[in-house]
Chain A
Amino acid sequence: EAGVVQSPRYKIIEKKQPVAFWCNPISGHNTLYWYRQNLGQGPELLIRYENEEAVDDSQLPKDRFSAERLKGVDSTLKIQPAELGDSAVYLCASSLVRTGEGYEQYFGPGTRLTVT
């Protein structure tokens, strides 16, 4: 079974430029997450989707970040314009179902963004 797919794996852009990341979750997983991970830190949740609905975007900097999951499958995360502080690894994860007992997330390889 294919895992979570992300592209690109690496991206270098100049500040003020736009950038987009793409994620395809594991087939059948209805919940999709975007995280940002800075060096030496744990992943920080940016947005969580359950099917097409963004159920938690409280940590998403909405002035410059946007995300969509139009058909409830793959998703894109966009930054416009990028700032130097956006340099990080952007991780996508998916899980099968969200229950009160917990849910195991499976991560993609991430996109390493460098803003110069």
Chain B
Amino acid sequence: RKEVEQDPGPFNVPEGATVAFNCTYSNSASQSFFWYRQDCRKEPKLLMSVYSSGNEDGRFTAQLNRASQYISLLIRDSKLSDSATYLCVVNTLLDMRFGAGTRLTVKP
């Protein structure tokens, strides 16, 4: 089992749709969590941190469930510009792991 697993995708959604991605992790000692966005042939860029209480940034909402060891990302009112690969990152004090990413395509 991989240490960080993501929905394989791809997700193809129309503009305006709501889409959710999940990411599960196996190390219960994991302490910090992030979502990164990666456009085709570009470097990953931080989208948002994931806090224990959950957090929201505009159309994006991140949730953490420590008991079930997963994090989620919800995108509301999808835009064409949201098309990208979304990577989850799970860190412990000693280690960090990226998921393989979930590809999202938003269509007109």
Contacts and interface: CB of A to CB of B under 8 A. Distances in A.
Interface of A: 35, 40-45, 56, 91, 100-110
Contacts of B96: 45
A108 B43 contact: yes
A16 B80 CA distance: 43
B43 A91 contact: yes
Interface string B3-39: 0100000000000000000000000000111100000
B1 interface: no
5 contacts: A42-B101, A100-B31, A101-B31, A103-B91, A107-B45
Interface residues on B, range: 20 to 34
A40 to B, nearest CB: 7
Interface centre among A42, A106, A108 (most CB of B within 10 A): A42
A102 B100 contact: no
A35 B100 CA distance: 13
Contacts of A106: 46
Given A42-B101, A43-B87, 5 more contacts: A91-B43, A102-B32, A102-B49, A104-B34, A106-B46
Interface in B24-70: 31-34, 42-46, 49
Interface centre among A40, A56, A101, A105 (most CB of B within 10 A): A105
